[in-house]
């Protein structure tokens, strides 16, 4: 699925999308001063844009792919509900919007200055779908299932997708031979029993399983896979696809013969993650509905998500954009630099087999300064491939105090990955980098200011026949010095 021709068949898919809908209102403006009444910014609105949110955003993404979309959702008998109806009609979605008495259409208002979100205002009251409307909803969906290639349930825990409605729809889909993909919410997934696929993110998987997952752990993917497999078997679904934010996505089938399938993320500049999960659900559903195998569908969903996070607001991805990203990522597989510990071990093994010299250095890199740049430049000169280990936020807080890090690990790793000297960046949470070094087994390790006596990582690399190089320090530069300088009154 690497060319435009391959993905063109997505536009012929007919999809039924059911779930919580909301109106996303974006207030764009400027902030030029702080209020004299309180230390808060004064926001001046300039323009407003309304967009479909929740399952409405899923439908909008499907429409952008050229799919035929039947949308079933609940709105109130109000002006906001009318706006949702008009927006759905304007993009060619067949909207079946059920108006529930005494229910107010959900509205999420975001205040945005430049590219920065200042505030989000949620106007909502969680209200469970009543029995009568549930029956009407089921009947409406039953009339539409035959024409659909696949059914998507988008649950935002607003009371529409009740246990009763979900089970009625899943049972009807099974009867008609239709796959159901669920974007879940909450801790109880039993209402999704019988679905083909459930797609939680990492936070949602943690809530549903009660387990914690650390991307800096060398067993991160294994831990996620075990939890996802146990949950999928417990609730009786065919499989689970866990989205891992900047670490890609992981598919786990409930079949004992299947192996987990991990797909790394496609590196893009992130402006706004609003609606990225909706885009992933839409692209995945369209791809599976078109007959793609899971690995192909994941690749398409991954590409679509990388596109919308680089746009502002709840955005969509077109087939042309997805095709371009897939083509770019296939022709330049080394372009993705921020990786997991498990990934860097595999990557290193392949690079060594290709005859590359592997170098390693590490640090916090809280404020990337000239000293860091010089060290990275010098370390890169010693090897073909330079891997940079970065201390996690938790490690820095533990060892340097609650005021640190100044910049979180995602920011620090992104800045490092932007440097031409750096080939790969990996976060670790151990007391020292030694466990990571033992896994990578670099040919060269380099760091400023360390002698072998107090450098166990260097001694290990020496012991396996590698080089340990003490880099020259650029005097006058340190993160602590920069912080203290900034604190001093001008």
pLDDT digits (tens, 9 = 90+) for 66-82: 999 999 999 999 999 99
Do 380 and 424 meet the contact criterion of CB atoms below 8 Å apart? no
Q: Please give the average per-residue pLDDT across 40-52, as a whole number.
A: 94
Q: Whole-angstrom Cα distance, residue 454 to residue 128?
A: 62
Residue 5: the pLDDT is 40
Do 138 and 148 meet the contact criterion of CB atoms below 8 Å apart? no
Is 278 part of the annotated catalytic residue set? yes
- Which of 467, 480, 398, 470 shows the shortest CA–CA distance to 431? 398
Q: String of b and e for 22-33 (b: at least 16 CB within 10 Å)?
A: bbbbbbbbeeee
Compute the mean pLDDT over every residue in the chain, rounded to the nearest whole number: 88
DSSP 92-155: T-EEEEEEPTT-PPPEEEEEEETTEEEEEEEE----PPPHHHHHHHHHHHHHHHTT-SEEEEE-
Residue 1 has pLDDT above 80, yes or no: no
Residue 218 has pLDDT above 90, yes or no: no
Do 189 and 231 meet the contact criterion of CB atoms below 8 Å apart? yes
Residue appearing with tokens 């203290």: 484
Q: Locate 310 and state its tokens.
A: 């680089």
Residue 309 has pLDDT above 80, yes or no: no
Residue 372: the pLDDT is 82
Q: Please give the average per-residue pLDDT across 306-322, as a whole number.
A: 76
Residue 337 has pLDDT above 70, yes or no: yes
SS3 call for 27: strand
Residue 294: the pLDDT is 93
Residue 198 has pLDDT above 80, yes or no: yes
Residue 6: the pLDDT is 64
pLDDT digits (tens, 9 = 90+) for 141-166: 999 999 999 999 999 999 999 999 99
- Which of 258, 226, 252 shows the shortest CA–CA distance to 239? 252
pLDDT digits (tens, 9 = 90+) for 232-290: 999 999 999 999 987 889 999 998 778 899 988 765 555 555 668 899 999 999 999 99
Q: Which of 70, 149, 278, 393 is catalytic?
A: 278
pTM over 0.85: no
Q: Whole-angstrom Cα distance, residue 224 to residue 214?
A: 9
Q: ∠101-102-104 over CA atoms, to 5°? A: 105
Going from the C-alpha of 382 to that of each of 262, 421, 468, the distances in angstroms are 32, 11, 10
Residue 332 has pLDDT above 50, yes or no: no
Q: Please give the average per-residue pLDDT across 197-223, as a whole number.
A: 93
Q: Whole-angstrom Cα distance, residue 122 to residue 116?
A: 18
Structure confidence at residue 211 as a pLDDT band (50, 70, 90): very high
Residue 36 has pLDDT above 90, yes or no: yes
Lowest mean pLDDT among 77-86, 261-270, 411-420, 458-467: 261-270
Question: Which domains, and CATH codes, for the chain?
Answer: 4-334 (3.40.1190.20), 338-487 (3.40.50.620)
Q: Provide the β-strand partners of residue 21.
A: 54
Residue 317: the pLDDT is 82
Q: Please give the average per-residue pLDDT across 173-184, as a whole number.
A: 96
Residue 314 has pLDDT above 70, yes or no: no
Q: Please give the average per-residue pLDDT across 29-52, as a whole number.
A: 94
Q: Please give the average per-residue pLDDT across 219-232, as a whole number.
A: 94
């Amino acid at each position: 699925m690497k060319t435009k021709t391959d993905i063109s068949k997505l536009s012929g898919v007919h999809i039924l999308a059911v779930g919580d809908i909301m109106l996303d209102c974006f207030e764009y403006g400027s902030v030029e001063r702080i209020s004299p009444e309180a230390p808060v910014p004064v926001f001046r609105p300039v323009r407003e844009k309304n967009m479909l949110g929740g399952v409405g955003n899923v439908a909008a993404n499907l429409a952008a792919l050229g799919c035929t979309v039947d949308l079933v959702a609940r709105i109130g008998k109000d002006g906001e509900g009318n706006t949702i109806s008009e927006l759905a009609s304007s993009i060619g979605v067949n909207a079946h919007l059920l108006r529930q008495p005494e229910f107010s259409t959900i509205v999420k208002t975001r205040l945005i200055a430049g590219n920065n979100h200042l505030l989000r205002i949620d106007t909502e009251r969680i209200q469970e779908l009543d029995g009568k409307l549930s029956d009407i909803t089921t009947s409406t969906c039953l009339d539409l299932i035959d024409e659909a290639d696949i059914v998507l349930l988008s649950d935002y825990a607003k009371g529409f997708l009740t246990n009763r409605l979900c089970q009625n729809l899943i049972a009807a889909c099974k009867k008609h031979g239709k796959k159901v993909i669920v974007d879940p919410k909450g801790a109880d997934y039993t209402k999704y029993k019988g679905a083909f696929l459930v797609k939680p993110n990492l936070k949602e998987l943690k809530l549903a399983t009660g387990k914690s997952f650390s991307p800096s752990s060398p067993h991160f993917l294994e831990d996620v896979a075990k939890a996802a497999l146990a949950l999928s078997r417990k609730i009786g679904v065919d499989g689970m696809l866990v989205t891992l934010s900047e670490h890609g996505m992981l598919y786990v089938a409930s079949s004992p013969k299947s192996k987990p399938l991990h797909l790394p993320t496609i590196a893009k500049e992130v402006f706004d993650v609003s609606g990225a999960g909706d885009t992933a659900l839409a692209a995945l559903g369209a791809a599976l509905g078109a007959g793609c195998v899971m690995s192909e569908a994941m690749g398409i969903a991954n590409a679509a998500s990388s596109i919308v996070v680089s746009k502002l607001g709840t955005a969509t991805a077109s087939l042309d954009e997805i095709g371009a990203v897939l083509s770019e990522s296939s022709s330049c597989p080394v372009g993705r630099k921020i990786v997991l510990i498990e990934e860097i071990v595999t990557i290193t093994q392949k690079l060594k087999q290709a005859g590359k010299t592997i170098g390693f250095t590490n640090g916090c890199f809280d404020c990337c300064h000239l000293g860091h740049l010089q060290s990275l430049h010098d370390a890169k000169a010693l090897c073909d491939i330079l891997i940079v280990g970065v201390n996690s936020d938790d490690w820095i807080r533990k060892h340097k105090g609650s005021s640190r890090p100044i910049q979180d690990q995602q920011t620090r790793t992104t800045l490092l990955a932007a440097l031409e000297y750096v080939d790969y960046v990996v976060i670790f949470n151990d007391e020292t980098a030694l466990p990571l070094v033992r896994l990578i087994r670099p040919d060269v390790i380099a760091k400023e200011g360390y002698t072998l006596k107090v450098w166990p990582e260097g001694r290990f690399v020496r012991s396996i026949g590698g080089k340990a190089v003490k880099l020259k320090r650029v005097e006058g530069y340190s993160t602590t010095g920069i912080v203290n300088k900034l604190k001093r009154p001008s």
